[in-house]
A and B are shown apart, each in its own frame.
Chain A
Amino acid sequence: MRELMLGNKAIARGLYEAGCCVISSYPGTPSTEITEEAAKYPEIYCEWAPNEKVALEVAHGAAVGGKRSACCMKHVGLNVAADPLFTISYQGVEAGLVICVADDPGMFSSQNEQDSRHYAIAAKIPMLEPSDSQEALEFAKIAFQLSEEYHTPVLVRTCTRIAHSQSIVTKGERQEVPQKEYVKDPERVMMTTNSLKAHYRVEERTKAMTAFAETTHLNRTELGEDTTLGIITSSTSYQYVREVFGEKASVLKLGLSWPMPVEKIRDFASKVDKVLVIEELEPIIEGHCRQIGVDVVGKEQIPMVDELTQGRIAQCLGRAAKETVKLEDAIPGRPPVMCAGCPHRGVFYTLAKNKCMVYGDIGCYTLGVMPPLNALDLNVCMGASCSGLHGFNIAGGEEHEKHSVAVIGDSTFAHSGITGIADIAYNGSNSTVIILDNSITGMTGHQQNPTTGKTLRGTPARKIDLEALCKAVGFDRVRVVDPNQLKEMDKVLKEELAAEEPSIIITRRPCVMLKDVQKLPPLKVDLDKCNGCGLCMKIGCPALSLPKGGKVEIDKTQCVGCQVCMQMCHRDALIV
């Protein structure tokens, strides 16, 4: 049956059909739905691990244990998992191990646009790149075959436009794969001679995979009527190439993007007048072509930064832009904002009011940077707030310590924050860390984590006791506060900044978007009392607006009655 399917769901289907039994992942846009969709198949054990390093180690452990296993993450997650990645490549596998990684060209929901293909090259792990949902399904299955045939983990790389696009697929049936027996092999211990032997094995494997790359249907030469130009491409760029050049163009589409073929590329180049490489982000195919002596045009014409589109490619190659209509008005931006009733709002309002230097982290609370709060100073990666603040305070001493905080969400804290606060306690900077505990992984769309008390499938689980953990790490001052109580929030912040030892403030209130969080009726405005002073507007709530010269208005469809704005009003004009 023809079915429209999201790329991520198609990968999940492919993993399922291939007989995958274990998936351990950490959520991250645009990869999250692979694991969420896979969890709908009872045959697959699925879990959210605390971070990607743990997830990959779990998946590898399951493969060592004899079952086909997978691990899914976004591109920056692969940085976290890079340590096991390189040595798992040496270890090799018996039961299949597939690592799905989703890049985010254009950075729709990411802090950088690194190209994961570099990891395939660096860790010497074969990488498949589907160009639509049907290929996503098929490539996930092929990845398991290759993994077992060549005893290697296999990477399946997508990008936002593959992961979050739907196209038509035809499903297959699940094939059960017998569990492989675990046999003790001392050569699996990666040290000295074993590691050396392993490295030789990896190089032999790469040679064998390169030979496979010459003949596999994954790499497809599509010679068209027009051979004046030959285009080498992969992933979503293939679709843009066909959109721009049509069916007459000659194209070499690489589905196995590492290792790349040599003779197949030379052969293609010999049949066309000149070769153009069209690839998103880094010049990986281009570099390979040059290395094997094939003259190509690439990044001289195709941009390195931001995602490609059919229009962008056409214009870079000198074609006229399509005719468009423009309005004269400046259209105000509509950046994402913290939701009405978001428990982070009270925290960031208080931090801005106290003019704190705020070392941010990765999550919804990055939105604390938006006006009118303008409360965030910087962010780097998962967990960097805690360790980065420690460094900032080492550099600035008391002058920094009394005016700076780290903010980190519960999921991010469990992911990478614990080691950072251990450093603060151990090496003793007088740092203040705020754990924004909203009982969920928010930005990626509500995934459970080790602090929420539920598993991926919603069953009850052990829950990290944040207060006890922080105390055990070495913090004597651990405060818990409701961030929606502005006076209390302000008092606690001032006290902990003034304290002569490091502190943890846990701001605890569940994400307002959670289904079981009770929403209160929208607030009302007492028009006799409101004088349009705009004090309530300082919290940056999307449910409030103040027409010029008028009185404040509340959007009934958005207000959830959190009452934070009420605490701003000096005239009691906002009422329940």
Chain B
Amino acid sequence: METVNIMIVGVGGQGSLLASKMLGHLLVQQGYDVKVSEVHGMSQRGGSVVTYVRFGDKVYSPIIDKGEADYIVSFELLEAARWIEYLKPTGRVVTNTQKMEPMPVIAGLAKYPENLVEKMQAKGIQVDAMDCLALAEEAGSTKAVNMVLMGRLSKYFPDIPAEAWQASLEANVPAKVLELNKVAFALGQKG
């Protein structure tokens, strides 16, 4: 099979590393060759963060380049727009509609663009947008945005059984918050 490329993007501190950890675990369990690449350190301080997840029969490069992503999973709306050049024109964006103003906007030096979902759709991109923060709160914690997004993403991989997603969730989420994360995953799946 051809390598599948998933980018997980967001703002440092939003919990994208746990999402990529769960996804990586799941894909290894499914028998694929997998590579995951992330950037630690400076960029985590509230900056734009990106994690690359690639899987297939044989994966070489650990990173995804412009025009190569099959999916962009975004924790924040502006971040989906920021990385959009990395998407294949036939790719899909799965995004949280939450907006977090970056410092240049807070400092009044730049504007947060409006109607980003519509603008992406106008370019022919398939966009699956939802208020993941509200669903995470419904599940019991604003920190569960990552599992809402994973639940949503799972819809696009019908070949991977639901039990496998559940098993990876259980293997990666701390026991104390397992139940609410399961709820968050289910809410994301339902949308």
Q: Tell whether A and B belong to one assembly.
A: yes
Binding site for B on A (CB under 8 A): 2-4, 29-30, 32-33, 108-109, 132, 160-161, 164-168, 236, 239-240, 242-243, 309-312, 321-339, 364, 367, 370-372, 443-445, 534, 537, 540, 542, 544-546, 555, 557
Given A240-B61, A309-B63, A371-B103, decide whether A109 and B41 contact each other with a Cβ distance below 8 A: yes
Question: Quick check: which of B76-84, B147-155, B182-190 contacts chain A, the rest being far away?
Answer: B76-84
Q: Are A542 and B103 in contact (CB under 8 A)?
A: yes
Q: Are A542 and B68 in contact (CB under 8 A)?
A: no
**Complex interface bits, B98-113 against A, C-beta within 8 A gives 1, otherwise 0:** 0011111111111111
A370 to chain B, nearest CB (A): 6
Q: Are A327 and B103 in contact (CB under 8 A)?
A: no
Q: Are B35 and A542 in contact (CB under 8 A)?
A: no
Q: Are B28 and A335 in contact (CB under 8 A)?
A: no
Contacts of B82 in A (CB 8 A): 331, 334
Q: Can you pick out 24 interface pairs between chain A and chain B where the beta carbons lie within 8 Å of each other?
A: A109-B39, A109-B40, A164-B37, A165-B62, A309-B63, A310-B61, A310-B65, A311-B66, A322-B65, A323-B67, A324-B67, A325-B85, A325-B87, A326-B123, A327-B81, A330-B110, A333-B104, A334-B104, A336-B42, A336-B44, A339-B45, A445-B40, A540-B103, A542-B106
Contacts of A540 in B (CB 8 A): 103, 106-107
In chain B, what residue has the closest Cβ to A107? B42
Contacts of B86 in A (CB 8 A): 324
Contacts of A330 in B (CB 8 A): 110, 113
Interface of A, secondary structure class, is loop
Q: Are B42 and A108 in contact (CB under 8 A)?
A: yes
A444 to B45, CA, bound (A): 11
Q: Are A336 and B68 in contact (CB under 8 A)?
A: no
A462 to B100, CA, bound (A): 42
A467 to chain B, nearest CB (A): 29
Q: Are A331 and B28 in contact (CB under 8 A)?
A: no
A314 to chain B, nearest CB (A): 8
Binding site for A on B (CB under 8 A): 11-13, 24-25, 28, 33-48, 59-63, 65-68, 78-79, 81-82, 84-89, 100-113, 116, 119-120, 123-125, 142
Q: Are B62 and A239 in contact (CB under 8 A)?
A: yes
Q: Are B68 and A322 in contact (CB under 8 A)?
A: yes
Specify which of B41, B63, B81, B89 is in contact with A329 (CB 8 Å cutoff). Answer: B81
Q: Are B11 and A321 in contact (CB under 8 A)?
A: no
Contacts of B79 in A (CB 8 A): 334
In chain B, what residue has the closest Cβ to A163? B40
Q: Are B62 and A236 in contact (CB under 8 A)?
A: yes
In chain B, what residue has the closest Cβ to A167? B35
* A30-B41, A167-B36, A309-B61 known, 14 other contacts, Cβ within 8 Å: A4-B24, A4-B28, A132-B35, A164-B38, A166-B36, A236-B62, A239-B61, A311-B67, A334-B78, A336-B12, A371-B107, A443-B41, A534-B108, A540-B107
In chain B, what residue has the closest Cβ to A314? B65
Contacts of B67 in A (CB 8 A): 311, 321-324
Specify which of B11, B62, B89 is in contact with A161 (CB 8 Å cutoff). Answer: B62
A544 to B124, CA, bound (A): 35
B22 to chain A, nearest CB (A): 11
Contacts of B25 in A (CB 8 A): 4
Given A324-B67, A334-B78, decide whether A29 and B104 contact each other with a Cβ distance below 8 A: no
A367 to B46, CA, bound (A): 11
A321 to B67, CA, bound (A): 8
B178 to chain A, nearest CB (A): 20
Q: Are B102 and A333 in contact (CB under 8 A)?
A: yes
Given A310-B61, A326-B84, decide whether A337 and B46 contact each other with a Cβ distance below 8 A: yes
A562 to B176, CA, bound (A): 28
Specify which of B35, B45, B48, B123 is in contact with A327 (CB 8 Å cutoff). Answer: B123
Q: Are B36 and A537 in contact (CB under 8 A)?
A: no
A557 to B81, CA, bound (A): 23
Which 6 A-B residue pairs are closest in the complex by CB-CB distance?
A322-B67, A29-B41, A311-B65, A336-B47, A109-B41, A332-B110
Contacts of B87 in A (CB 8 A): 324-325
Which one of B65, B81, B109 has the greatest number of beta carbons of chain A within 10 Å? B65
Q: Are A325 and B89 in contact (CB under 8 A)?
A: yes
